[in-house]
């Protein structure tokens, strides 16, 4: 995309099991659904003149392909990798490889959960981290990511 203005769209990536939001462990993840997440992100992005493309998959390769495709039509990525946060080097490498600003989101506070959830392979490639803010954390991540995008564009 060199020489061209970056598109005003964000990629929203939700990893494995996030399709079960609203019914999966509501005491941990709440009762809002994936559709609620996507609506919240779209509204937050629209306030700054951005659109979104949303993908959720329980298959790592589908997520990686969507991240690769974002190079062509997105200005940044908002991602909740789900359990892949703690296991997937290849997802981390895909995010690093596309060289787009990334916001990592987790609905629950992974730092207060099981020890295996304390490490994130995504953390070092993300410019924004929002953890433990529930579904509203996605909109917070969008706002912060757009600030990062604007700073990179202006700077």
- SS3 of residue 89 by DSSP: helix
Which residue among 50, 68, 106, 121 is the active-site one?
A: 106
Q: Is 106 a catalytic residue?
A: yes
**Placement of tokens 């506070």 in the chain:** 109
Q: Which of 63, 33, 38 is nearest to 52 (CA)?
A: 38
3-state DSSP assignment of residue 79: strand
Torsion sign across C-alpha atoms 137, 130, 106, 152: positive
**Does 108 count as an annotated binding residue?**
yes
The SS3 assignment for 135 reads: coil
86 is in an annotated binding site: yes
CA 95 to chain centre: 10
Given the residues 29, 50, 121, 138, the one annotated as active site: 29
59 annotated binding-site participant: no
CA 3 and chain centroid, separation: 26
Alpha-carbon distance of 16 to 60, in angstroms, equals 8
29 is catalytic: yes
Instruction: Cite the annotated binding site for substrate by residue number.
Output: 80, 86, 93, 107-108, 117
Which of the residues are catalytic?
A: 29, 106
Annotated binding site: 80, 86, 93, 107-108, 117
């Amino acid at each position: 995309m060199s020489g061209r203005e970056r598109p005003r769209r964000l990629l929203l990536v939700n990893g494995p099991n996030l399709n079960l939001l609203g019914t999966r462990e509501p005491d941990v993840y709440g009762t809002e659904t994936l559709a609620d997440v996507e609506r919240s992100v779209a509204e937050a992005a629209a306030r700054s003149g951005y659109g979104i493309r949303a993908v959720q998959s329980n298959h790592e390769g589908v997520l990686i392909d969507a991240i690769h495709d974002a190079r062509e039509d997105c200005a940044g990525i908002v991602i909740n990798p789900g359990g892949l946060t703690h296991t997937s080097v290849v997802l981390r490498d895909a995010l690093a490889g596309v060289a787009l600003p990334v916001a990592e989101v987790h609905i629950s506070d992974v730092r207060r959960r099981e020890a295996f959830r304390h490490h994130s392979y995504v953390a070092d490639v993300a410019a924004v981290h929002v953890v433990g803010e529930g579904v509203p954390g996605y909109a917070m991540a969008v706002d912060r990511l757009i600030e990062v995008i604007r700073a990179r564009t202006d700077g």
